[in-house]
Amino acid sequence: MSASTAYLVLQGGRVLDPASGLDAVADVVVRDGTIVEVGANAAANHPTAKVRDVSGHLVTPGLIDIHTHCYPGLGDFCLPTDLMGVDSGVPVIVDAGTASTTIIELARKAIIDHPDTKTKVFALMDPSQIYLANKSFICHYLRIAGDERNIDIEAAKAVVDANRDVIVGFKVRPTITDNPDRSPFLDAAHAIAPDLPVMIHLGSFPHTPVLDTNKLLYQLRKGDIITHACRGGGGQLDAQGEPTKPFIDAYERGVLLDIGHSAGDFHFRTARRMIERGYMPSTISTDLNVFNVDGPVFSLSTTMSKIWALGVPLIEIIRMNTVNAAAAIKRGEEYGELKVGRSAEVSVLRIEEGTVQLSDGHETIEASRRLRAVGCLRAGIWHDAVHDLKSAPDALQEAV
Ligand SMILES: [Zn+2]
């Protein structure tokens, strides 16, 4: 292939880049995996480029889903990596705690770095020695997940230091042992790599006692992430549906809210409350796994559509899954923005107008439009969103 044919142009789309504020019809030009130009009629500067007409579509920085389970063959509730990634128009995904310190390097070899994996994958690692998320919760059932002897801080530090190109933080189950005031697993994660964010979830796990939500909220640092932030009964809202003081304090301290939809961990009702009161999620993620891919989650674009349906402006929806998601995993220098010189991660979505039913698994709402992925560039290579195009079977009637 000659150098001139290595140029590819995504031509004529509505380019929406929240980080720079760009919202205009423009072309995105890439070459050899890198963004080389973004601008109106930029294609004219590259007459020999291969052109993909994306007129009528949204063109955004590559979408990032910071909560998936994407190590198939390791965790039996994981989904195929690319199904949640490039096959859903999402070039960058993060596995949230499927594997622990003694397993993560195998996950690298088998999936993250494997040449068959087309999606860029990062890891929020479980800080235990042995933990594998699976369908039967066996590590919880056998009580390994709550046993302090499962922690080895020095060994975990060595694993993090050897894999910092992939490990972007921790996913922690804040389980307790003898002391009801502290979680040795949360404390371990903070000690292993104090500069890396910790993602936690509010609420219980089977067979494993966890830190009281109010105590947990006070122990989170700026940049730590609450996933399943809009679940019901998580303890972030009081009996009257008002945010609790520990939750408000955590939010004001810079603790981030992540959607982490999952099968039952997102409630429109909770999300409405929180958004109305100004507690905006920072990121929209799916928690996609075998239990929710056939509904209610389906895909990232469907999850984004649900937050959009609550009245959050489109540019904020895109911001959550681009610049905010990159910042949450401390990869804002590389991802989340359409900048010349960066790796060419670019997503293309279409807005489908018409009545659509969207369910959170508890409640179904009617929206007047939805987002659906068309495809994406990952390091400059185009992938059709084959999963997203066939998922989300919600009936969509054309507007009349
Ligand atoms: Zn999860």
Cα 18 to Cα 24, 144, 318: the distances in Å are: 11, 43, 7
Distance 67 CA to ligand 1 centre (A): 6
Q: Which one-letter amino acid corresponds to residue 191?
A: A
At 230, list the tokens.
Answer: 């809009």
Q: How far is the CA of 97 from the centre of ligand 1 (A)?
A: 7
pLDDT of residue 390: 76
Instruction: Please compute, for residue 156, the number of CA atoms within 13 A of its CA located in the half-sphere on the CB side.
Output: 27
- How far is ligand 1, taken at its centre, from the CA of residue 95, in Å? 8
Say how many Å lie between the CA of residue 86 and the centre of ligand 1: 19
> How far is ligand 1, taken at its centre, from the CA of residue 119, in Å?
18
| Structural element, H or E, at residue 156 | helix 153-162
CA 142/CA 32 separation, integer angstroms: 49
Distance 98 CA to ligand 1 centre (A): 8
Tokens of 99: 């594997």
- The number of residues making up the chain comes to 400
The pLDDT assigned to 391 comes to 72
pLDDT at 399: 38
pLDDT (0 to 100) of residue 226: 97
Residue 113 Cα to ligand 1 middle (Å): 21
Q: Which residue has 């890396």 as its token pair?
A: 196
210 in helix, strand or coil? strand
Asked if 97 and 162 count as a contact pair (C-beta separation under 8 A), the reply is no
Measured in Å, residue 206 CA sits from the centre of ligand 1 at 14
Chain position carrying tokens 């999850």 = 303
- Token reading at 18: 């929240």
What CA–CA distance (Å, rounded) separates 343 from 151? Answer: 37
Residue 33 corresponds to which amino acid?
G
Q: For residue 287, how far is its CA from the centre of ligand 1 (angstroms)? A: 5
Ligand 1 centroid–CA 289 distance in Å is: 8
Return the residue matching tokens 């507690």: 279
Both structure tokens of 286: 């799916």
Q: Architecture of domain 62-328 in CATH?
A: Alpha-Beta Barrel (3.20)
* Measured torsion, CA atoms of residues 246, 251, 256, 262, in degrees rounded to the nearest 10: 50
Task: Give 24 Cα–ligand 1 centroid separation in angstroms.
Answer: 36
**Best CA proximity match to 248, nearest among 223, 276, 269, 218:** 218
Burial 52-66 (b: 16+ CB within 10 A, else e): bebeebbbbbbbbbb
Tell me the CA–centroid distance for residue 108 and ligand 1, in Å.
Answer: 18
Amino acid at 72: P
- Cα of 180 vs centre of ligand 1, distance in Å, is 24
CA of 201 to the centre of ligand 1 (A): 9
Walk along the chain (400 residues) and give the pLDDT tens digit of each residue: 444 458 999 999 999 999 999 999 999 999 999 999 999 999 999 999 999 999 999 999 999 999 999 999 997 989 999 999 999 999 999 999 999 999 999 999 999 999 999 999 999 999 999 999 989 888 888 889 889 999 999 999 999 999 999 999 999 999 999 999 999 999 999 999 999 999 998 877 777 889 999 999 999 999 999 999 999 888 889 989 899 999 999 999 999 999 999 998 999 999 999 999 999 999 999 999 999 999 999 999 999 999 999 999 999 999 999 999 999 999 999 999 999 999 999 999 999 999 999 999 999 999 999 999 999 999 999 999 998 877 765 544 443 3
Burial group, residue 388, by CB count within 10 angstroms (0-12, 13-18, 19+): buried
Cα 227 to averaged position of ligand 1 atoms, centre (Å): 8
Q: How far is ligand 1, taken at its centre, from the CA of residue 361, in Å?
A: 16
329 C-alpha to center of ligand 1: Å? Answer: 16
